[in-house]
Structures are given as structure tokens and as C-alpha cells.
Amino acid sequence: MEVALFEPRIPQNTGNIARSCAAFNIPLNLIEPLGFKLDDKYLKRAGLDYWPLVTVNKYANFHKFSESKTTKRIISFSKKNGIFLKDFKFQEEDVLLFGREDSGLPKFVIDKSHFLISIFMPNLQLRPIDEKGVRSLNLSVACGIAIYEAHKQINFQNSN
């Protein structure tokens, strides 16, 4: 399994996601342009001292990224539409792709993906959204939930 971030903008989110990648021993793919430099102090601080434990791959654009993953399923995550996370069956070689914090994934990226998964809270059956209207989850939270669910499924499949 791998995680990919499409043009991330907030260094703290990327740092937190890097920590999750370290915890689950999975690579982190960053698709440029980034909204920060890789030596950003907030990125480093959020990732703590786990950076040496993470394999980070950078790609100049989505085209270069997708060319390098032709043998893998690219699974796009969105707050809109798609298959509910709880209903999706992950595979060991999947790449979990998350969009920008401000605009998500563009249509051309979703169209190139193999599956689109909805990661909006009601679909996760955690609890109903307050009627005041939470539009989405923080990127690092959504990514952490997806990593955990995929890891849980894959380990369960491998133990049988």
C-alpha cells in the first residue's frame, strides 16, 4: 500500500500524514506543485523525528505519478459520491490518493483513477453530521482513517 497527496498545500497536514505512513510502514508520494518547501519548519515539526522512517517520493505532476503506478490500483478519495469506505475492498498494492485541502481532486485525476471512495463522515457510520453542516474532514484525519481501514482489511485477508 502507498499514500499519494495531490498538490498538498498545508505542511502540517503532510507532516501528520507522514507520521501515519511511518507508523504503518508505507511510502508517501507527493505530487507537485506543493504549497510549501520540503524543508518547511511546520512540515518537519508535524512529522516529528519520524522522517527517516518514511520513504518519500516526489513527482513533478500527476502524469509522471500515474505513469509510475501503471501496475497498481489508484484509489481516489473524495467527500462526494463514490463507493462508501466501509463497502470497499482494499488490496495490498493499492495507492490511496488524496487531493488538495482547498479544492480536492480535479476531474481529470478522478477520471484516471480506478475507484472513487467517499470518505464523508455519515458514510463511515461514525455519527451523524451536525445539521450546522460539516463539509469535510481534515486531510490528515481522512487519510488516517483510510490507511487504518485498508491496513485492517489487508491484514485480515492475509491472516485467513
Q: Where are the domains of the chain?
A: 2-159
**Span 9-20, average pLDDT:** 93
> 91-95: which pairs have CB atoms within 8 A and are 24 or more residues apart?
91/154, 92/1, 92/154, 92/158, 93/1, 94/1, 94/2, 94/150, 95/1, 95/2, 95/3, 95/4, 95/29, 95/69
Helices (H), the chain: 11-24, 41-47, 62-68, 107-112, 121-124, 139-159
* Confidence band, pLDDT 50/70/90 cuts, at residue 26: very high
Residue with the larger pLDDT of the pair 4 and 76: 4
| Predicted structure pTM score | 0.86
- CATH code: domain 2-159 is 3.40.1280.10
66 and 108 Cβ atoms separated by less than 8 Å: no
Pairing of strands 74-78, 115-118: parallel
**Span 34-46, average pLDDT:** 82
115 and 76 Cβ atoms separated by less than 8 Å: yes
* Confidence band, pLDDT 50/70/90 cuts, at residue 38: confident
